[in-house]
Structure 1
Amino acid sequence: MSLLKRLLAWFQPDTTRPLTQVWLCSLWMGVLANLPLWQQLHGMPGSRLSFLLAFVGMVTAATGAVLSLLAWPRFVKGALVVLLMSAAALAYFIGAYGIVFDPTMVVNMVQTDARETRDLLSWRLAATLLALGVLPAVWLLRRPAAPAQALRQRVLGNLGSFALGLLAMVLLALSVFATLSSTMRNNKTLRYMVTPLNAVYSVSAVGVRSLSGPKGPPVVIGADAQLLPRADGAKPPLLLLVVGETARAMNFSLNGYARPTNPELAKLPADQLISLRQVSSCGTATAASLPCMFAPQGRADFDADKPQENLLDVLQRAGLAVLWLDNQSGCKGLCDRVPNSFTAKLPAGAAPLPAGLCDGEECFDEALLHALDARIAALDPARLQRGLVLVMHQMGSHGPAYFKRSPADLKPFQPECRSNELQQCPRERVVNGYDNTIATTDRLLARAIDWLGTQTSRFDAGMLYVSDHGESLGENGLYLHGMPYAIAPKEQTHVPMIFWVPQAGALAATLKPGCLQALRDQPASHDHLFHTVMGWVGARADVYQPGRDLLAGCRR
């Protein structure tokens, strides 16, 4: 009988001990919270059961090793509960949308708002959190407190557990090294799918960068900014810069897409509206792309950890009026030093927004065009006499709830997916919902051009539209955006850029005939935005690079 009790005790470890709790939770997360990873590995050619089991063991051993360092009686339960809930959430989002969790994704989470968060909530998410997070957390919290233990013994135990976990991971890796090295080399996204180690690493990396980054005001750029002299009687420039959201170039009919997603813009004269077809983005998420595309350095040299002024600061320093209007989660710090507002925040005396534009939670992008005259009238008159750069930041095609981004009277592609769980909809319905958002952007841009036409008595008006990044719609099992740039698919980095340059305007008069049309299929990127805008409005500074001004080669 005593032998039986000893055997049972061996199979039923003392769950009051912090290290026991760590390893049981590591086994739970390593096996169950990584189901999307195991599914992807299982579907790879040549992936054998022995390799899959070794990978499971490696993840569990590595997780247990790292968490062994947290195995302190007053700390371990809270840390494990947070990790269990995080791992459950990641299991859902990685499995549902094919995303990866890296430092950029952490920044996206921090900078999101309640509206975007709501779009991600679902009953499947709640069920996953309950099964993989809440239930083991309740079990853990019900464990009695561990008996007192000497500090030296606790430290040695934790370090010993850490060493054993690392040793087990290394031995397992060596046992399948050839397959492991080949798999990780050819499938770089896998390293960002290992839960919860991906969360521990990414959050830590962002925290270290935040603490070690420079403090104080942003670095001044373009301190010598000024405007080129205008000819007598020439009108000041008005550039409408529309920053799109989650629009991918391949779904614009202006770029050759088979569906008529741009019916309104297609009606405009081809010598006035030019869509560039080979444009790449700075990043795959708003938090990465926006600061980069408004900086002079370009993607290769831009450092997000070194705060600096941006295009809007330089334009304002040159003497222009600048206004940022936002219909999304904010300007990511770009508009902090220039006049800015949100669509729902109307200027004093403006008429209320027309019925149907807003539903109390969000507004359609067309609300950006409301009360523009009143907003402009509130700007500095002296600056307006020199010119105006008006930036509109769209909600655009932000997912996964694409059906919310297009009004009821503008849904030409049916049936559309009416859920935020895209993987549960047939892919053609997902594409329908997304294409409806592109048609909605098309109407916004066409009506924006109509409004610009009403300003020609006062300004020399033009428009530049460019999206911040693209979107995956189920290609290779991926949805949404935010993949690490080095491994991101073209659907997330190939973005639309559209110029509207009226032939009667002063800018068109300075350009060589047919030169803009020749830009259609020339490679371009967000690196060109800063310098093209400066060239367009006649602003110059030491940071201006003519070689990155898309219009410089077209000027007479």
Structure 2
Amino acid sequence: MQFSLPIAFPRLSLPPQSASDRPPDAFSRPAAAVWGLALWLASVGNLPLWQRIDALGGAPSQKLVLIAGLGAIIVAALVALLWLTMWTHVFRPVATALLLVAAFNTHFMWQYSVVIDPTMLSNVLHTDAHEVRDLLSWSMPGTVLLVAGLPLWALWRRRLALRRVWPQAGWNLLGALSALVVLVVAALLSYQGLASLMRNHKDLRYMANPLNTVYAGARLAVDQLPRQVHPLQPVGEDAKLGASYAHQQRPPLLVLVIGETARAQNFGLDGYARNTTPGLARWQAQGDLVNFSQVTSCGTNTQVSLPCIFSPLTRTGGGDKVPEHENLLDVLQRAGLAVLWVDNQSGCKGVCERVPHASANDHAVPDLCNGGECFDAAMLDGLDQRIEALDPQRRARGVVLVLHQMGSHGPAYAHRAPETSKPFLPECRSVRLSDCAHEELVNAYDNSIVYTDHFLDQTLHWLKARADRGSEDTGMIYVSDHGESLGENGLYLHGVPYAIAPSQQTHVPMVGWFSKGLQKRAGLSMDCLRGLGDQPISHDHIFHSVLGLMDVHTRIHQPALDVVIPCAAPV
């Protein structure tokens, strides 16, 4: 089925602003601007939505009815919104912002099949220059010109003729109310078909452009602004170190590696046909590494998952919301341990604000850093010195170190591994993932997983060396923050609303390695842990498992969410 929605955007000429000089039809021109812009946004600005509905199948007449009904609702909603902004120095900036938002939304919905919801918008607002650079492509300016070019030219060509304040307020209110009446009528007339459509295809509700961004922005403001005013609620105020610290010969050193965009489906230890984790497989064969194959993430993007991993709350209990509580690192530090966060990503999303933290970019490592970006191995450079710089009294008790990876961050997967460490070729080198052959796209992604395996192998060698010389009882837990879509069902990247997210974005890899000393210290049975490796767990377990492994006692520790407890015996 093909369709076209030709819209003749009205010429917005501006007569003189004084009431006595206005021509007789001047008062109709704001209405023409509002309706013209709303029709343009609803048609051209929503091409991805209409194409998505067209691709669903069904009779052409049925699809036309659905498009007409939903189109009328979108037009009416935009008209109501635009009338409320019909003021001097307000309408045109707002209209410009809506056009540009619609244009960029269209580009990313076309390019990666993403949808715009509050979590996606939050992710966008917290991105950095390097991530933005990876998303740029030559097709973006063309899409922006297609969607926003003509109406922007018409919008700014001449000024609008507006009444004085109170008469204009009356017209604005009347125009908005009239649009709401049209919206209600359109919704009632098309309710049955649209209700069924939205129930069966929930992603469509996040594609109405630019209303999706307006809604997402409002939700973020409502959710986040009140929480910015109030300080975080303390947790684990009773935290204290357990009996294992009383006469310890060596302090514990636990490394938490937080992966980025690694999906279990392409992880060699989880049964992937390719051996993308040869290094971890060797450690597993030695008996001290446990693979957890059924792990579910808290969110589908870093902005949600990263704070949730360290939250005392479960995902369903509010861990996936904007944090209101302190996190795991605060509890560990309060108990008296040394904590350090080393970042090779776009920041810790507030998790590390109250503990010592550093960036891999603090000092560029030759061969590992270039152009403001570093391979993950750069986090290991100078790590001994970073630990030595921590508070000596805390360090003598024990250290928890967090390494936040660049991992497999897309769409520039080809940039995530050195050219000399790519076993799968040819690979996709474009950020326009849909332009690449699927095999080349998978090759590029798998190469990034292989490099993560290399980084984890290096980390384990570093930990084992410290354990072998008797300085610490060491261990490592690795878990990815979320997964990734590589074209399955037309989806790319991540960030799909959790309720409709595919398993590729929520099923993530996780491993644990514990030195003989840490096993003895915690009374760990590795055979028992390996027996739990295929049991379903989630990010909800990280907070409580780390407390259990580090022998930190507090009332907020939930044994039911501690994967260590069933396999640990008092020593």
TM above 0.5, yes or no, is: yes
Give 1:11 shift: 11
- Aligned ranges for residues 306-325 of structure 1 at < 5 Å? 306-325=323-342
Give 1:15 shift: 4.9
Which amino acid counterpart does residue 115 of structure 1 have in structure 2? H
Higher mean alpha-carbon deviation, 497-506 vs 10-19, is at: 10-19
Residue 454 of structure 1: aligned partner? 465
Does the 8 Å CA contact 1:240/1:390 hold for their aligned counterparts?
A: yes
What is the aligned counterpart of 1:79 among 94, 106, 113?
A: 94
What is the aligned counterpart of 1:168 among 182, 195, 220?
A: 182
Q: Does 1:202 align with 2:244?
A: no
SS at structure 1 position matched to 2:533: coil
Normalising to structure 2: TM-score of the pair?
0.91
Residue 464 of structure 1: aligned partner? 477
- Aligned ranges for residues 341-380 of structure 1 at < 5 Å? 341-346=358-363, 353=365, 355-380=366-391
Residue 299 of structure 1: aligned partner? 315
Give 1:13 shift: 7.3
Does the 8 Å CA contact 2:10/2:33 hold for their aligned counterparts?
A: no
Which amino acid counterpart does residue 537 of structure 1 have in structure 2? M
Give 1:134 shift: 3.4
Give 1:497 shift: 0.8
- Aligned ranges for residues 178-327 of structure 1 at < 5 Å? 178-213=192-227, 215-230=229-244, 232-270=247-285, 271-302=287-318, 304-327=321-344
Normalising to structure 1: TM-score of the pair?
0.93
Distance 1:391 1:509, change over 3 A: closer
- In structure 1, what is the Cα distance between the partners aligned to 2:526 and 2:115? 46
Give 1:447 shift: 0.6
Does the 8 Å CA contact 1:242/1:465 hold for their aligned counterparts?
A: yes
**Number of paired residues?**
540
Give 1:520 shift: 1.4
Does the 8 Å CA contact 2:298/2:538 hold for their aligned counterparts?
A: yes
Does the 8 Å CA contact 2:11/2:154 hold for their aligned counterparts?
A: no
Distance 1:286 1:12, change over 3 A: closer
Deviation track 1:305-356 (CA, whole Å, cap 9, x = no partner) reads 453211111111111111100000111111111111001214xxxxx62x32
Does the 8 Å CA contact 1:19/1:158 hold for their aligned counterparts?
A: no
- In structure 1, what is the Cα distance between the partners aligned to 2:351 and 2:284? 33
Which amino acid counterpart does residue 90 of structure 2 have in structure 1? F
Instruction: Give the % identical residues.
Output: 48
Give 1:137 shift: 1.2
Give the unaligned 5+ runs of structure 2. Answer: 1-7, 15-28
Give 1:406 shift: 1.1
Residue 6 of structure 1: aligned partner? none
Give 1:507 shift: 4.3
- Aligned ranges for residues 127-166 of structure 1 at < 5 Å? 127-146=142-161, 148-166=162-180
- In structure 1, what is the Cα distance between the partners aligned to 2:119 and 2:9? 42
Please identify which structure carries the higher helix content: 2
- In structure 2, what is the Cα distance between the partners aligned to 1:12 and 1:226? 70
Deviation track 1:78-99 (CA, whole Å, cap 9, x = no partner) reads 1101110110000111111111
Does the 8 Å CA contact 1:467/1:497 hold for their aligned counterparts?
A: yes
What is the aligned counterpart of 1:514 among 508, 517, 527?
A: 527
Residue 409 of structure 1: aligned partner? 420
Give 1:109 shift: 1.5
Give 1:144 shift: 2.9
- In structure 2, what is the Cα distance between the partners aligned to 1:484 and 1:241? 27
Distance 1:156 1:314, change over 3 A: same
Residue 44 of structure 1: aligned partner? 56
SS at structure 2 position matched to 1:302: helix
Deviation track 1:445-475 (CA, whole Å, cap 9, x = no partner) reads 0010000011111000011000111111111
Does the 8 Å CA contact 1:406/1:437 hold for their aligned counterparts?
A: yes
SS at structure 2 position matched to 1:213: helix
What is the aligned counterpart of 2:136 among 112, 121, 145?
A: 121
Residue 19 of structure 2: aligned partner? none
Does the 8 Å CA contact 1:22/1:80 hold for their aligned counterparts?
A: no
Higher mean alpha-carbon deviation, 496-505 vs 478-487, is at: 496-505
SS at structure 2 position matched to 1:319: coil
TM-align CA RMSD: 1.9
Distance 1:12 1:438, change over 3 A: closer
SS at structure 2 position matched to 1:429: helix
Does the 8 Å CA contact 1:85/1:133 hold for their aligned counterparts?
A: yes
- In structure 1, what is the Cα distance between the partners aligned to 2:494 and 2:9? 45
Does the 8 Å CA contact 1:18/1:73 hold for their aligned counterparts?
A: no
Does the 8 Å CA contact 1:323/1:339 hold for their aligned counterparts?
A: yes
- In structure 1, what is the Cα distance between the partners aligned to 2:228 and 2:48? 38
- In structure 1, what is the Cα distance between the partners aligned to 2:172 and 2:163? 12
SS at structure 1 position matched to 2:369: coil
- In structure 1, what is the Cα distance between the partners aligned to 2:264 and 2:551? 28
Give the unaligned 5+ runs of structure 1. Answer: 1-9, 347-351
Give 1:384 shift: 1.3
SS at structure 2 position matched to 1:278: strand
Does the 8 Å CA contact 2:252/2:518 hold for their aligned counterparts?
A: no
Which amino acid counterpart does residue 475 of structure 1 have in structure 2? E
Deviation track 1:149-177 (CA, whole Å, cap 9, x = no partner) reads 14343223222222232233333333333
- In structure 1, what is the Cα distance between the partners aligned to 2:337 and 2:524? 23
Which amino acid counterpart does residue 397 of structure 2 have in structure 1? R
Deviation track 1:56-110 (CA, whole Å, cap 9, x = no partner) reads 2322222122222111232101110111011000011111111111111221122
Q: Does 1:479 align with 2:496?
A: no
Distance 1:41 1:269, change over 3 A: closer
Runs of 4+ in 1 over 4 A off after TM superposition: 10-16
Residue 34 of structure 1: aligned partner? 46
Does the 8 Å CA contact 2:338/2:398 hold for their aligned counterparts?
A: yes
